[in-house]
A and B are shown apart, each in its own frame.
Chain A
Amino acid sequence: MISQLTVFLENEKGRLAAATRAVADAGVNMHALYLADTEDFGVARMLCDTPNKAAEKLTLAGWRAAVTPVMAVRVPDVPGGLASLLEFLDECDVNVEYGYCMSVEGGHAIDVLKVSGDEEIERKLADAGFAPVSAEDVYIVD
């Protein structure tokens, strides 16, 4: 599991700018940002360096921020890369609440998924030949 920085936002003009500025003010470098939005609020999900420090500094600055454990898996950047991963999870009865993907160097993609239903899923993935990613491979751990 890796740590995702999650920030709650009101769905109002300027809130995302303010949130990303707050991350910058915390001296934290961001690697990925994904937004989920509804009519009146949104949730910003980020992969960044030192996520614990980032969450702490944002909370102190008055944001609703937290570190959420998510699973990251490296898959080949080819058609069906994500589909085979999701099919495997489905067979294991693991539920995916949300997810996002990014291409990385070396012809690979990293699929980030919020999963629930099986504590052992990372080990099972590794046994089945998938490549769960450790935090160190994505960001500076704190």
Chain B
Amino acid sequence: MSREELRDLQLERMKWCVQYAYDNVPFYQKSFKDAGVEPGDLKTLEDITKFPFILKQDMRDNYPDGLFAVPRSKVARLHASSGTTGQATVVGSTENDLKHWGECFARGLAICDCDENATMQIAYGYGLFTGGLGAHRGGETAGCAVIPISSGNTKRQIQMLKDMEVDVLACTPSYALHIADTAIEMGINPATDLKVRAGIFGAEPCSQGMRDEIAEKLGVQYCDVYGLSEVMGPGVAFECKEMSGLHLAEDHFFAEIIDPDTLQPVPDGEYGELVFTTLTRECCPLVRYRTRDITRIISEPCACGRTHRKIDRIIGRSDDMLILRGVNVFPSQIEQVLTGFPEIATQYQIILTTRGPLDHVELRVETVPEFPFDEIRKLETLKKRLATELKGNLQIAVDIKLVEPKSIERSEGKAKRIIDLRKE
């Protein structure tokens, strides 16, 4: 589908969603009225920015099914978030919603060249978490032979991968690595002894180093999947073989990137918070849901030929964002740079202070014990290299301070990485 046709389809569906949400969910009637907008105000895709946002808190406030647009007779399935950061939230799907979800997920399988001849092992947890059943419906939609093994019992996972000659594995990255390591301990080289050739991995953050390790150990094409239960579940976006971003299912979801402070849209290519408007969801339509996930839109055409635009890998959560000298910085960006320095230990601390009118950023790090720290020159060179790399990545100058090991709090649970001593 051309971009032109896609945008026409998006507008048609967006008009439907906004009207439908307004007609069937009291929350939207109120929030639209408070913002002084009506569904009829939506004439173009850009007009969506006139509409108010919906937040995770609104879902909690409307627990369990206050945001449902259909009666229970039309609800086919209920999933719930874990509620680790507060009240759990429940998201329902109609049969049509499930069908679309299956189609979205099947696109990821198509990227992995998996059709009706393929065997798919799903080692995501089944249950209220959307991973297992989301991938399951996708596998069935693609016509794969689906093994609904769920997570756990790793030796059995490996046995099934081997005996059933599985082509594609779907699970979290950390579990994929655990499966690979366990297989190696068992004397099986997953890269050569198993037929598995692709992995659909998602639902948690994964560093580039870990991605490479998984792909190499398992001998698979790494396919990153993005999704969130509030919007649907896994399958909202998939990484194609070009490995330069995840193609959004733009026929089902309209994405905006906003500045999390000003709440204004940012130009394509700039990082900001991802906001979704669902275009086809019947049970829980969402108009401008703030995901808190930070990414950017990659609007350049992809070499793979898909016309759906891509989002970059999620670099953080807007909750963690720091604004330093007007530049948005995420702790994950700093961590990413540090992983490129094996001489530096993983513990770090950022101290923010005000010097004159400016924010001053000090990054405190330690060398690893093996580093030849007896030579001042090597320490100074390391500092300079790290500062240059950070400047290139974050666009701001960072003062590096090498510290003694015990001066940085060890991470037992959640370590305090950021100490903000700036004056208001």
Residues of A that sit less than 8 Å from B by CB = 4, 6, 8-10, 15, 36, 38, 40-41, 43, 45, 59, 62-64, 66, 68, 97-98, 114
Contacts and interface: CB of A to CB of B under 8 A. Distances in A.
A62 B375 CA distance: 20
Contact of A68 (B374, B401, B404, B406): B374
A41 B377 contact: no
A68 B377 CA distance: 15
A4 B374 contact: yes
Interface in B347-405: 366-367, 369, 372-377, 379-380, 401-405
Given A41-B379, A59-B369, A66-B373, 9 more contacts: A4-B374, A6-B374, A10-B402, A38-B379, A62-B405, A63-B405, A66-B374, A68-B374, A98-B376
Interface of B: 366-367, 369, 372-377, 379-380, 401-407
A15 B403 CA distance: 11
A98 B372 CA distance: 13
A45 B403 CA distance: 17
A97 B406 CA distance: 28
Closest 7 CB pairs of A and B: A62-B406, A6-B374, A68-B374, A8-B373, A41-B402, A64-B405, A36-B376
B375 A97 contact: yes
A59 B403 CA distance: 14
A56 B403 CA distance: 19
A9 B377 CA distance: 15
Nearest to B377: A97
8 contacts: A4-B374, A6-B373, A9-B404, A62-B405, A64-B367, A66-B374, A97-B377, A98-B376
A9 B366 CA distance: 11
Contacts of A41: 379, 401-403
B261 to A, nearest CB: 33
A8 B375 CA distance: 10
Nearest to B345: A64
Contacts of B367: 8, 64
